[in-house]
Each structure stands twice: as structure tokens, then as C-alpha cells.
Structure 1
Amino acid sequence: MSSQAPGVLMPALEHIEGGTPSCPDWCRHGIEELLTDVQRVTGAYDDAFGAPNMKEATEHLESARETLRRVWPEAALETDLLIRVIVYVRAGPFRSATLRQTFGAIYLGTESVESTAAAFEALLHETGHHSLYLRNTFETFLTNGDTMVTHSLRPEPRPVAGAVHAAHVLARMTYGLTRWAAEETAPPEVSERRDNALDRLQRTIEALKPAAEWTDRGRSYFDDLLKWEQELTDARDG
């Protein structure tokens, strides 16, 4: 099966092994920023950093892209349009990240490519960050984005704007995993990841309800997110 969407001619997705001499300057700068954050949060040492097994990682990633194209083609097309480079990084507990200054690239840790289901979830997660960063360029959803709040993706307090990003990507992850879990051939890991993502989505939304101060466009966005959460909960419990 071709990895290209019908009628869309896109350059091939580039796979980069992080932390190697072949890593371009923009990639090295991005990784340095990520690893500084990992060291700050976890206290990990430099020798904990490197790259995962590239053959296995890229196989899982490409399999995830084909699965996404089958179960949610609109999301696959969005990924094809927004994501041009995958940077693979091994850095202790680091899982995945998007940096606005390297828009179009996503950074994936070992846990995010340890299986096809993990890579599928990571693609939905990081493409979601890209899409919301792009949308926020043209729309303002919050009037108190810098207010600190604790949400389910981060143990330490983060700005409300970050919690909105968390809810946005968790909704995408849950929806995509729900569609895949509906297939009889889906591995049990898919349902487990869906349930975990939905639980974190519900907890993140509960944290946002008293904390977020919305613009009119933001309130409309959040109302849609609440409806999506309810539909996903009903689909799981039904």
C-alpha cells in the first residue's frame, strides 16, 4: 500500500537518527533543548542519551502511518501535510515532543516507537500539537493562557495553554485509537491505550473547567471538545 494520499504529491517523510554526526544543525539544536529539559526534570546523565534501533523504529512508524491511513484517512492526510521529518531520540523517560521553532519535525523517544500502536498514538499526539499551534496563529482561545494548572500529562504545574494542548492531543489520540480498536484484528494494546488516553482526557478537561478563561471562539472550541469527550466515553462504554 502506498504511503501517499490519493491525489496528493508530497515529498517522502524523512527519518533522522538523533545524536549522530549526520543530524543537521537545526536538529541538534532541537535535541539539545529537549535533553536540557529531560535533564532538568529527571536528572538523567548524558550517557543515557542516544538513538533507538532505527530499523525497528522506522518499521513501527511506517506501519502506524499505514494503519492511520486506513482507520482515519483525514488524520493521515493532516499528518502528511504538517509532518515532514521524524527525529528519533533515546533520552531516558523522554517520549515525544514538538518544538515550534522546528515546525514540521517531531521528536520521538524509544517508548513512542516500541510498537506500531505506540507510534500510531505518537503521530496523533504530535500532529495534534502542530495543528493547534497553527490554529492559534490565527485564533485566540484563552485570556489567561499563562495561568498555572496541573493536568494529566505533566506532574508539575503548567500554563493553562499547555493544558489545552494536552486536551486537544488526548482527544485526537482517543478518537484514532477508538477507530482502530473497532477492528477485530486490532491488538489488545490499542484498547488499553485508548482507555488510558480517555482517562487522561477526562482528567485534563476537569482541570480546565475551573481554570480556563475562554474567548468566544475558545468557548465554542471547548464546547466541541466536551461533546467529543462524551461521545468517546459513550463509545467505550457502549
Structure 2
Amino acid sequence: MPPLEHLTPDGSSSFPDWCRWGTDQLLADIRKTRGTDDADFGAPDLTEGIAHLEAARETLRRVWPEAALETDLLIRVIVYVQGCAFRSATLRQTFGAIYLGTSSVESTPAAFEALLHETGHHALYLRNFFATFVTNGDVVIRHPLRPDPRPVSGAVHAAHVLARMAYGLTRWAATPTAPPEVTARRDDALRRLRGTITALEPAAEWTDEGRRYFDGLLRWEKELTATHLP
């Protein structure tokens, strides 16, 4: 596989048009959500962020190699941006790229969590290309991953990525060298997963395949929560 690309909107010709289109879409969503006219994204210093990202990839290979392989297969470009308290995102139209804000690469555990999160979106986009999970995906509800109301289909994505984050962080937390931040992030992901499932259960209208998927996710959440949360 070719090496992972690292890009930032520095105004040079090395920042391709599709990246500019993607960051413009993200800015438009932020402005719509907040009702403000946030400034354009800036270009962060990549040195420390890339170091944390690469350390997170190595950790993922060690503690959950299957997830690391999935990331290596699906993610080809990392776009780093600074501003608007932006954390991370995936856009279907730029599949294969993930967009990371400075907070997502401020530490190795943060980058580890962001990789699990955004690779999860990629994986579920692929699954939903071949199978429909919900029949009322456009109905709007609230869930803990986003401050604004979002469609049921988005809440399914939230539950999916939170489950991956919680499980991956659990595996890392079980190693003797894991920093305390890993456990804190795992517990936060589990609490938000429980909240997202609580929002989905009365709202989502599942297909048969979607129901099987959700039942599996429920079992995963219950096992993790029973083991790691009071």
C-alpha cells in the first residue's frame, strides 16, 4: 500500500481542490450549526500531530491488529485543519480521507480515538452501500455525539463509531503501559454510547438486517459497560 498522505490547507498548490472542497463543506456545516460566521480553517504545525498520529497507528497495530488493518485499507489521506473548535470528520464524497482538528492529534490517545472513530464511519458507509439498516433514517433525533439534532441514520453512525472507540480503548487500557488518558477516554465513550443507544431504541425503525446489527451492538455495549463502568 502507498504511504499515508498528510495534508494541511497551507495555501500551496500541494493542497488539492478536493481537499479545499471538503474543508469548505465542513465549514458550512459548522456555520449552519452554530449560526455564526466562523473564519476559514488555518494550517496547524504538523510536526507534533503527525508524531502522535503515527504513534497511535503503531499502538492500534499492537492492541487491535484487525482494526489497524481496516484503517490501513480504508484511509489514505489525513487532512489536518485548525480552527472553529473542529475535532474530526469523514465525508462520503471524499471517501478515503479523514479531516482532523488539532484537538484530535494533541496526544497519542486522542489520535488513537480519532482513527477508530473516522475509520468506523468509512466502514459503515461501505456496509450501508450494500444493506439498509433503518427505514426512517431521515427522522431527526438528538444523541450525545453531536450538540444539534441529527437524522436517525447519523445516530446509527454515532453508535457504531462510539462502540469501536470504547472497544479499542478498552484493549489499550488493559496493557500495562497505557496512560490514564486512555481509561478516561474509554469511560467517556461508553457513557456516550449508552446515551446514543437510549436515543436510538425508541426512534429507529430497523430492517431485519439492521435489527441483527443493532442487537450485536447492544450486546457489545452491555458487556463493556458491565465490566468498566460503575
Question: TM class by shorter-chain length?
Answer: over 0.9
Matched, 1:16 2:4: no
Q: Deviations over 1:28-72 (max 9, x none)?
A: 11011111222233325326x202220011000000000000000
Which residue among 154, 157, 171 is the counterpart of 2:149? 157
2:11 corresponds to which letter in structure 1? T
Shift of 1:237: 4.3
Residue 86 of structure 2 corresponds to residue 91 of structure 1: no
**Matched residue SS, 2:210:** helix
Counterpart AA for 1:113? V
The question of whether the paired residues in 2 share the 8 Å contact of 1:106 and 1:126 is answered with yes
2:28 matches 1:36: yes
Q: Does 1:107 align with 2:99?
A: yes
Q: Alpha-carbon deviation of 1:20?
A: 2.7
1:133 pairs with one of 114, 122, 125:
125
Per the TM alignment, residue 19 of structure 1 is displaced from its structure 2 partner at its CA by 4.4
Preserved contact between residue 44 and residue 92 of structure 1 (Cα < 8 Å): no
Gaps of at least 5 residues in structure 1 are 1-9
- Distance across 1 between alignment mates of 2:37 and 2:176: 41
1:228 equivalent in alignment to 2:207? no
Gap runs ≥5 in structure 2: none
Are the equivalent residues in 2 in contact too, given 1:19–1:28 (CA < 8 A)? no
1:144 alignment partner, one of 130, 133, 136: 136
1:178 corresponds in structure 2 to: 170
Q: Does 1:67 align with 2:59?
A: yes
Q: Does 1:45 align with 2:4?
A: no
Q: CA deviation at 1:174?
A: 0.2
The runs of 4+ residues in structure 1 deviating greater than 6 Å are: none
Decide which of 73, 78, 92 is 2:70's aligned counterpart.
78
The amino acid of 1:123's aligned partner reads L
Provide the identity percentage.
71
TM-score (structure 1 length as normaliser):
0.93
Amino acid at match of 2:69: L
In structure 2, what is the equivalent of residue 206 of structure 1? 198
Task: Tell me: CA distance 1:237–1:151, structure 2 relative to 1, closer, same or farther (3 Å).
Answer: closer
**What is the aligned length?**
228
Q: Which residue of 2 aligns with 1:56?
A: 48
Please give the alpha-carbon distance, in whole angstroms, between the structure 1 residues aligned to 2:11 and 2:227: 44
Please give the secondary structure, in 1, of the residue aligned with 2:175. Answer: coil
Alignment match, 1:188: 180
